Structure 1
Amino acid sequence: MTTSRELDVAPATRGDDALELSLAAGERALLDEGDLRTSRIRFDAAYREAERWGDGQGMARAALGLGGLWVHEHRMAAVAGMVRARQRTALSLIDPQSSLALRLRVRLAAEKDYATGEHASIMALVAEARRAGHPVALAEALSLAHHCVLGPEHGALRLELARELIGEASRTGRRADLLMGLLWHVVDLFSSADPHAERSMRELRDLLARRSHLAAGGVLESLEVMLSIRLGRFEEAEALAGTCAKRGEATGDVSATGWYAAQIGTIRWYQGRIAECLPALTDLVGSPVLSPLDNACYAGLAIAAAHSGDRRLAAGTLARLRGRVQDGAPRSNTWLFAMYGVVEVAHLLGDAEAASQAYELLSPFAGLPTLVGLGGACLGSVHHSLGVASLTTGDADTAVGHLVKAVDGNLALWHWPAVVLSRTRLGEALTLRDGPRSEAARASLDLAAQEAAQLGMPVPAEASGRPAKVGRSGDRAPVLVCERQGRQWRVALGSRTALVGDSVGMRHLATLINNPGQEIPAIILAMGPAASSGDSAPAQPVLDDEAKRGYKRRLSELDAEIEELESADQFERAAALSAERRWLIAELASASGLGGRTRRFVDSEERARIAVGKAIRRVLKRIADADAGIGAELRATVQTGLLCSYHPK
């Protein structure tokens, strides 16, 4: 009884012609109208009527129709099991040499191959259908085989299957076969970054405008969402995605849920709001309506967790995701999308091992776009992921090479948000390679900011993981936190954290970080509690009396301001003032010796420059070893010399 309810079963029609009427109604709904939900109702009624009369041919036609147009249309285990059982039962009742028997064997083989990520069985039946000369059996075999080779390594094979299906449609005379052939051809062209994909899409659109087909039209609408995202029209894309999802649900397309999640996740990613998706994605990964080969949801969850600051969930989801997409695992039409997530999260977590493995797996597909599903969402060129993976492993030269190609590839795709993101990462890679004064890096970052403003999207967080700044209005400075925890220092940037041991260089660096934009003489940094008092060189106070009074006045002001900000829930501003307060206290403490006597320092600026510079460079290396992204940010923003400073970009 549960199974019937899940299939939306209607009561069987009574009468001598009930069976043929139900079969004809099911075939019309499925093939002519693309109405998956209605066809299931009709075919279920037909199967029960044929079973009642012991009509093997009728049972076979109905069981075949219950499979639908796509593979794995029945996601609930009980329903899927019932449909497969009906198909096997019907197959046992009809002539094994018949075209109908071949079509049932094609369906069963395709479902099995798809579930296991294989395609040998279905391709063998494609060859058998060619030899048998059964046009309908061959057309169905070609379409179902296409489902089983959706991994990025099978692009050429998919195109061959789609083109053959278009030709075979002239022999079957079934409009559905032509629509499926054209649809697969469009999807394949987009998946291979073919510049003529939109021409083929127009041909399909014109055909559907003359007479609709709900299932094919749903995929076409999904592609329209993807193109709107590429153009940076986020509000339009979100509205289209909502309409597409509702129509897919009404039609009975179980994939609509996954498509919608991928589309909204992509929009939020480019809007800098991916963390908002965390609750929905946490719920979605456990949904039984997702395909067993769909790993895009895990990628989205890992990225959302990392950007929300939940490093434990991000690391755990990354580990689960790597286990599902590592070398040897089946590759589907969500594989590239999932690998994009692996790379981004590995970078945010500083996981060089995961990034290195992802680089090796992605390298053969560098020239492809990162699409999910049947083209419902696109994250730009795979070169982008290869560049970010190289940044994570510290290979700046390789990162620059890939990111230059990513910018070019995304321009060719007309994917403007992806261009902005790749330009930003390229600026980071150039900074890492050439240093903070790199003109090429600054030019890339400035152009990315201009393009982001034109699109109304946030200026993306750079590869170091610092928070994004909003384009057009509302810019906010990045917040890098440095605080002592016992014998260690915690350096945090966005969701990234590095722990390093206490040292003279770390204390110098903490002073600079807590005073962004201020130039502090190296000789001031060099003097601290451990300074020698036995040097006979000329000396002067670290802080004169007037400076001390000024520091104390500022401390009183800060106490009042911090209390007021915290009461108004303005915690980010309060945190910045607290950092200034900690620095002032530290300066007053370091300027006073035993009994509160003024501490004095040796006036040897050159010796201080050398010592402080070496100490800071040593600690920067230790931070980079702990987290490559934070290390890259600090190398690009900390300057040493006679005057030392930290200048956030």
Structure 2
Amino acid sequence: MAPAPAVDDLLDRADAARAAGRGDDASALYDEAIALARAEDDLELWARAALRAAESQVFGSEPGTVPVHLHQVYDRTTDPTLRARLAAALARSWSYAGEPARARPFGEEAARLAEDSGDPLLLVDCLDAALVTRWGPDELDDRRELALRLGDVAAHVEDPDQRLRAHLWAFQVACEVLDLPAMHRHLRAVERLGADSARARFFGATRRAMLDALRGRLDTLPTLRAIAEDAVAEAGLADGWMVIAGMDGFSAWMRGDADTCTAVATVVEEFAIDEGLPGVHTEAALIWLGAGRPDRAAPLLAAVTGPALADLARDVNWLQTMQLALEVALAVGDTDTVAQVAELLGPYAGRAVLNAGAVMFHGVTDDTLSRAYDVLGEADDARTCRERALRTYQRIGASWWHDRLAATSGPASSAGTAWTLAPQAGGTWLVGAEGRTAAVPATRGLAHLHELLRRPGIDVAALDLAGGTSGSVDAGDLGPVLDDQARTAYKRRLDELEAEIAEAEDWSDAGRLALLRDERDALLTELVAATGLAGRRRVVGSSQERARVTVRKAIVSAIDKLEAVDPVLARHLRERVRTGSACRYDPDPDRPVAWTLVGTSPDGHPHAGTTRLTT
């Protein structure tokens, strides 16, 4: 018979393999530990091995033998505390596997047994499991009630990871109803718990990134991503890599960063196909759109639409899957799917859409439904949903989402739009909508945009835009932009600044707050410049890299300045212009735009005449 130390040694080795990314090795070690514990016929030891194996299940993936092992012990034990812990684990396992109907009875029993036990730590764990089984779009009221109960119990528990669960559920519910004060309050509590918990640091960083992106701030992502990546390794979170990939992919989609979208979409698509996950299919499809590859997005959408989409369980992923499926269908012109999803999503008008656990904000259903009703010729419903969505976005400060929808609003967007972006003599450019143009100072970014607009749908090398075509070569690199010591110092100061900013906000010290935010923005700009795809350090000295950075900064700066002249034009350019090693302006075939590019360049030479593009 195997003694407990032998089983614990196998479990420790399995945890180490999982943390190192060797999932198959970890599964084999967990199975071996369970087999030894079962041979020992020690239910407590057997349960310990099965529960540790359950912690390795990746959210959204097929659970394998995890629920089998848990249920074998669950069936045999008569100890109510052990039975509650096993029921909670079974509830999570089936919920993570997309089987809420199987999960719900276990969640209910876990909560009942834990209430009877009088053990607050056990009750926190079991209420958390019960919440996981009530995560569907039709169970918001249940979530709200259970989250309040969990908060009451966890308020007097010392363990930071248990208190973390309560704040995360309260944050989730607040996000679903778009209660901004509650969102900020609970997120701040999560971040404070990060001083004692790697899990809290991970959740604090990832949810802060979501909230920043909701409000249109993407510059904080590199720092928050680095914090999350460090915390994943320390906490051993099985699905942490998926969360970070989502942060990378969706923020790149919002920025129009085609290179990052391509890299992330490739990984996400592979995972979606291997695991057979409809929700991840739609995530990958949306990110492929961000890469400018509707040809890669359309097949992923087709794989999950039709009867498969209609029969999809209304679980934690359902609203997001529908929202993203509708986004992709609208983008690729799949009117059959637009009609199907609009009918399914219609009863959920007015809802906020978030990735599981509030990892990423995907707008409100009124947004996509308004555009779907436009396509389907239902003008009154389209107008009602659009107006409601715009009011919601304005209320919560979701400027990126507001401007994006506003760019498609009104008769002009369906009938066509006329914009001018033309260089003039004397160092100015004429920009803006027809009849409302304004003169702005010439910048390199405007010249880059002008060149891309003249060559719609064509990749233009950043080196060419930067003027590096004449005999230019990639000259290699000269080492990292920031060394480890500098990065550490920057991150330490950023942590200090967040605390000082929170204090200044509490005291309404506007002068100090402005100075602190300026310092934070300057540090973040440096870190953004030093951070590449997947958190890798960028290097200096490469002509391609210098051109990529220079061109991107110039284009972003130019679009930001256009915001004051014509916010709809700025939104259109953010959505349709891709930057990277190669840059491109992608026309939208459903919305014609008449571009006036005629004028004289800053050096006095005339340009070609008006270009009309379907954008």
TM-score (structure 2 length as normaliser):
0.60
Q: Which residue of 2 aligns with 1:208?
A: 194
Distance of aligned partners of 1:120 and 1:414 in 2 relative to their CA distance in 1, 3 Å threshold: same
The answer (yes or no) to whether the contact 1:407–1:423 under 8 Å persists in 2 is yes
Report the counterpart of residue 395 of structure 2 in structure 1: 412
Measured after TM superposition, the shift of residue 474 of structure 1 is 2.6
2:59 & 2:243 partners in 1: Cα distance?
16
Which residue is 2:184 aligned to? 198
Partner secondary structure for residue 151 of structure 1: coil
Contact 2:81 2:117 in 1 (8 A): no
Deviation per CA, 1:538-589, whole angstroms, max 9, x where unpaired?
xxxxxxxxxxxxxxxxxxxxxxxxxxxxxxxxxxxxxxxxxxxxxxxxxxxx
- The 2-side partners of 1:472 and 1:190 are apart by 41
Q: 1:362 to 1:84 in 2, by over 3 A?
A: closer
Q: Which residue of 2 aligns with 1:59?
A: 46
What amino acid does structure 1 have at the position aligned with 2:256? G
How far apart in 2 are the matches of 1:123 and 1:387? 37
Which one of the candidate residues 249, 270, 290 is aligned to 1:265?
249
SS state of the match for residue 379, structure 1? strand
Q: Does the aligned pair in 2 maintain the 1:113–1:121 contact within 8 Å?
A: no
Structure 1: distance between partners of 2:449 and 2:594: 27
Alignment RMSD, CA only? 4.7
Q: Does 1:161 align with 2:136?
A: no
Q: Quote the Cα distance in structure 1 between the aligned partners of 2:286 and 2:458.
A: 15
> Are the aligned partners of 1:40 and 1:65 in contact in 2 as well (CA < 8 Å)?
no
Q: Which moved more, 1:400-409 or 1:238-247?
A: 238-247
Q: CA offset at residue 193 of structure 1?
A: 0.9
The Cα shift of 1:273 comes to: 3.0
**1:580-613 CA deviation, whole Å, 9 max, x = no partner?**
xxxxxxxxxxxxxxxxxxxxxxxxxxxxxxxxxx
Inter-CA distance 105–229: structure 2 relative to 1 (3 Å threshold): closer
Q: Is the 8 A contact 1:139 1:168 kept in 2?
A: yes
Give CA-to-partner distance per residue, 1:309-337, whole Å, 9 cap, x none. 553x4332121232587334123444333
* Alignment check: 8 A CA contact 1:300 1:341 kept: no
Which residue in 1 is equivalent to 2:339?
Answer: 356
User: Retained in 2: the 8 A contact 1:222–1:241?
Assistant: yes
In 1, Cα distance between the equivalents of 2:82 and 2:27?
19
SS at match of 1:108: helix
Cα distance in 2 for residues equivalent to 1:268 and 1:164: 38
* Residue 474 of structure 1: aligned partner: 449
**Distance across 2 between alignment mates of 1:168 and 1:646:** 65
Amino acid at match of 2:404: L
Q: Counterpart of 2:210? A: 226
Match of 1:633 in 2: 592
> Which residue in 2 is equivalent to 1:98?
80
Partner Cα distance (1:472, 1:409) in 2: 36
Match of 2:322?
A: 339
Aligned to 2:164: 179
Alignment gaps of 5+ in structure 2: 17-22, 420-431, 460-587, 597-609
Identity score, percent: 20
| Residue 134 of structure 1, CA deviation | 5.1
Partner of 2:550: none
Q: What is the 5 A alignment of 1:566-585? A: none
- Contact 1:262/1:372, CA 8 A, preserved across alignment: no
> How many Å apart are 1:198 and its aligned residue?
0.6
Structure 1 spans left out of the alignment, 5+ residues: 1-11, 30-36, 439-444, 457-469, 482-492, 496-628, 638-644
Contact 1:75/1:288 (<8 A) preserved: no
- Contact 2:301–2:325 (Cα < 8 Å) also in 1: yes
Structure 1 residues 390 and 246, CA gap change in structure 2 (3 angstroms): farther
Cα gap change, 1:400/1:410 in structure 2, threshold over 3 Å: closer, same or farther?
same
Match in the other structure for 1:255: 239
- Residue identity opposite 1:273 in structure 2: D
Deviation at 1:203, TM superposition (A): 2.4
Preserved CA contact (<8 Å) 1:155 1:192? no
Contact 2:317 2:355 in 1 (8 A): yes
User: RCO (CA 8 Å, sep 6+): is it higher in 1 or 2?
Assistant: 2
Q: Could you tell me how far 1:265 is from its partner in structure 2?
A: 1.9
CA distance in 1, matches of 2:264, 2:418: 42
3-state SS of paired residue (2:407) = helix
Note the alpha carbon deviations across 1:220-277, whole angstroms, 9 max, x for none. 2110111232343324214422442353245322222221222222222222234752
TM-score by length of 1: 0.57
In the other structure, the counterpart of 2:90 is 108
CA distance in 1, matches of 2:300, 2:326: 13
The counterpart of 1:424, out of the listed 389, 400, 407, is 407
**Count of residue pairs brought into register by the alignment:** 444
- Larger of the two Rg values belongs to structure: 1
Q: Structure 2 counterpart of 1:252, which letter?
A: G
Distance 2:52 2:384 in 1: 51
Question: Aligned partner of 2:412: which letter?
Answer: T
The amino acid that maps onto 2:185 is R
The answer on 1:142 being equivalent to 2:127 is yes
Cα distance in 1 for partners of 2:287, 2:297 equals 7
The equivalent position to 2:371 in structure 1, one of 382, 388, 407, is 388
Are the structure 2 counterparts of residues 41 and 246 from structure 1 closer, same or farther at C-alpha, using a change threshold of 3 Å?
Answer: farther
Counterpart AA for 1:220: G
